Every structure is written in structure tokens, then in C-alpha cells.
Amino acid sequence: MQNESTPVNFWRWFDPRNRSIGTWAFILNRITALGLTLYLFIHLIVLGKLAQGPQAYDDFVTLAHTPVVKFGEMLVIAGGLIHGLNGIRIAMTSFNIGTAYQKQIFAGLMVIAVIGMIIFGWKMFGA
């Protein structure tokens, strides 16, 4: 009765133990998609505020230079890299390219994502 809808089965979904790399790829793809969608709405709200005139723009520029906003921008970059690179893997395997090496492709693309995040973080916070 593993497929029966019970509170125990519901909470089992959030248990990170004994997950395959494919499951982690799926979870990362969904979480980053939700995060990027949330960012899109926030972005549209901010653009609406900027249409209120030069003072609103100056206030936004001041806010944009705070560490909290920069960290949020870093999360957007991370989400975009992870989601985009994982999407490349999904597209490849949809066309039966590299299906035997999905785990290795996922790991390699996530290494590229981490390198990209380090570069962006260094440019944002270090330079």
C-alpha cells in the first residue's frame, strides 16, 4: 500500500535519504523553476515602481547595492544556471542523446553551474 495517500507517505517525499541522482535533478529543476517564476513577478513589480519617476529610480539603485539584494541576485543567477543547464540535459536525453550517461552529464553540468556561480559571486562581491 505504498501508493496510498497517508500523512506518512506525504512526509516521505521530503525525506532526503536514499534519493537517486535523478530524483535530485528533478527536485532541483522544480525548485529553481518556482524560484525563477517568483523572481519574474518581483521583477515586474520593481519595473512598475521604476516607472514612477527619477526619485523612484534613485531609491532603487540605492537599494540594489545592499548586500541582501546582491545575495538575492546571486540566488537568481544560481537558479538560472542550474535550471538552464539541467534543461540542456533533459533536452539531450529527450532526443536519446547521452541517456546512458545521464548521471555523469548531470554531475558535469552542475560542476559548470558551481563554477559559474563562483565567477558571478566573485564579480558581484569581490570586484
Average pLDDT, rounded, for the chain: 88
Structural domain total, the chain = 1
Radius of gyration over alpha carbons of the chain, in Å?
19
pLDDT tens-digit readout, 34-65: 999 999 998 898 888 888 888 888 888 898 88
Q: Is residue 9 part of a domain?
A: no
Q: Is residue 95 part of a domain?
A: yes
Q: Is residue 7 part of a domain?
A: no
> H helices of the chain, where?
7-12, 21-50, 54-64, 67-94, 102-121
| Domain of residue 28, CATH code | 1.20.1300.10
Domain that holds residue 118: 21-126
Q: Is residue 2 part of a domain?
A: no
pLDDT at 105 over 90: yes
Q: Is residue 8 part of a domain?
A: no
Is the model's pTM score more than 0.85? no
